[in-house]
Structure 1
Amino acid sequence: MTHTPDELFASTAPYYARFRPGYTPEFYDLLTERFGLDGTQRVLDLGTGTGVLALPLARLVGHVTALDPEPGMLDEARKLAAEQGITNVDWRQGDSTTLSAMNIDPVLLTVMGAAFHWMDRDQTLRDLDHLTLPGGAVVLASGGAPGDIEPAPWLEIINQVRTRYLGPQRRAGSGTYAHPTERHQDVLARSPFPHVETAHWDRTVTRTLDQVVGLQFSYSYSSPAQLGPHKDAFENELRQALTDFSPEGRFEELIRTEAIIATRI
């Protein structure tokens, strides 16, 4: 069974909105201080998903343009915005390849949450150069690079169950996925935004069994679409394996928010 990336992300949307941990408040404090956010600026959220970055930023700036190629993700984002009374976000279907054709007004910041690795990074930065106001920046938010933090022991249990159902390589659509070998910082250093700063914050998150299981369905590589008719069997086996590991149903994980801020020199 093969799927397009859009199909995979569509099936993750409700799980993404409920179970992804988001970014630490200190990240938004840094952006506010660094760029003087005072409720008047314009921001672009490229690859917004369910608005993990767009919704908090909407409270700090005047307007957010939030792009995502998947309508299901945008639908979830609109629901969350309505629930939170947020009205200054323009949710639009699009991606890094459509930037030049979308008539987006100039922005102070472009933010991306763990989406840059899916793009033609060099071309995207060239296109953003034309959209970014003087003094503006590109900001990449993520959980850090693979291997930055020692993984919680229960993650290996999940990997073992996932491997039995989906194989040892990370799935991506009809093929597999490999993280780019060139660091984002190195790509940025040769771009129109070559002054690169990196900051990170670590915090411990404690999840229930239901939250850990739901989180797995928020990833494209173990999405409901990817698992297909084996989703229920996967979930049952995963629940049993995790319960054997932690009968009390408590799962702690050290997670990182990393911010890479790239500005013009």
Structure 2
Amino acid sequence: MKPSTGGLFASTVPYYARFRPAYDPRLFALLGRRFSLDGSQRVLDLGAGSGALTLPLAPLLREVIAVDPEPAMIAEGRRLAARAGVSGIDWRLGSSDTLLAMNVGPVLLTVMGASFHWTDRERLLRDLDTLIEPGGAVVLATCGARHDDLEPPPWLPVVEEVRRRHLDPEGPRGSQPALYPEVRHQEVLLRSPFSRIEEVHWDRTVSRGLDEVVGLQLSYSFTSPAALGSGRAAFEQDLRQALHAYAPDGGPFDERVRTEALIAVRPPGRDRPPRR
């Protein structure tokens, strides 16, 4: 998991939790049933950000250890948890590189959002094999990624055209959408201690107003306030004008959004107590 990159991720913090689509509640209901979550378990949320997975999971658990390399994300997660009255969260600054030195202790699950592709995946899964209890799992969840079988929203080309006019193709690393590894997560998991994989997903429609579509763009590292710099005001103005021309009534801007998860467990005979 990479550390904060030049403030790009830090500058997304005010927009991330507010404008990114939330994970489908059916994901948390499934994990609760599948792993008999009854308030006695501990779970690690690695790359927790501002708590998109942490906050919905915490009421089902004794403790969530929420780890992220960005101090501003940790601060925002704490703020959101306090506002929602959610307790039982141990917020920690760190990453996959510092995990084994953090004295996390045994956990039933390790959950990750979009952070897994930033890590040395093979090494991380070996490390997690020493932390995850028998019967536990690695859960990789995503929400809002593009899928060939989901029709992209008709307003998306409007946003993409404005991006092309404002983003510097020669900009610093992190100012463009993150490139995902060529080897799929499933293939990495199949070669890991957690080689039995269940794939699940749920689709729903998310409706946004014009301001929410603009805010969503500021939640991405490649169109974050830090990446846009002094061009932010021009970007926002251009985007608002383009979206207004597309939908003079201000929306709604509907999008079909998918929550999906890979739930990976050890195969039979391989489920041993973790090394302490």
- The alignment partner of 2:97 has SS state of helix
How far does residue 172 in structure 1 lie from its aligned partner after superposition? Answer: 3.8
Q: How does 1:244-259 map to 2 (within 5 A)?
A: 244-249=245-250, 250-259=252-261
2:209 and 2:78 map into 1 onto residues whose CA distance is: 27
How far does residue 168 in structure 1 lie from its aligned partner after superposition? Answer: 5.7
How far does residue 75 in structure 1 lie from its aligned partner after superposition? Answer: 0.7
Question: TM-score with structure 1 length normalisation?
Answer: 0.95
Identity, % of aligned pairs? 59
How far does residue 144 in structure 1 lie from its aligned partner after superposition? Answer: 6.7
Match of 2:61 in 1: 61
Match of 1:120 in 2: 120
Q: How does 1:112-151 map to 2 (within 5 A)?
A: 112-143=112-143, 146-148=146-148, 149-151=150-152
Instruction: Specify whether residues 144 and 184 from structure 1 end up closer, same or farther in structure 2 by C-alpha distance, changes over 3 A only.
Output: farther
Q: How many residues align?
A: 262
Q: Return 5+ residue gaps in structure 2 as ranges.
A: 268-276
Match of 1:160 in 2: 161
**Which amino acid in structure 2 is aligned with residue 155 of structure 1?**
L
Q: Which has the higher helix share?
A: 1
Q: How does 1:79-228 map to 2 (within 5 A)?
A: 79-143=79-143, 146-148=146-148, 149-167=150-168, 172-173=173-174, 177-228=178-229
- Report if the CA contact (8 A) 1:170-1:177 is conserved: no
- The alignment partner of 2:202 has SS state of strand
Instruction: Specify whether residues 123 and 154 from structure 1 end up closer, same or farther in structure 2 by C-alpha distance, changes over 3 A only.
Output: same
2:57 and 2:177 map into 1 onto residues whose CA distance is: 33
2:171 and 2:180 map into 1 onto residues whose CA distance is: 10
Question: TM-score with structure 2 length normalisation?
Answer: 0.91
How far does residue 143 in structure 1 lie from its aligned partner after superposition? Answer: 2.6
- The alignment partner of 2:87 has SS state of coil
How far does residue 84 in structure 1 lie from its aligned partner after superposition? Answer: 1.1
Instruction: Specify whether residues 170 and 63 from structure 1 end up closer, same or farther in structure 2 by C-alpha distance, changes over 3 A only.
Output: farther
Match of 2:10 in 1: 10
1:111 and 1:164 map into 2 onto residues whose CA distance is: 37
Instruction: Specify whether residues 144 and 218 from structure 1 end up closer, same or farther in structure 2 by C-alpha distance, changes over 3 A only.
Output: closer
- The alignment partner of 2:249 has SS state of coil
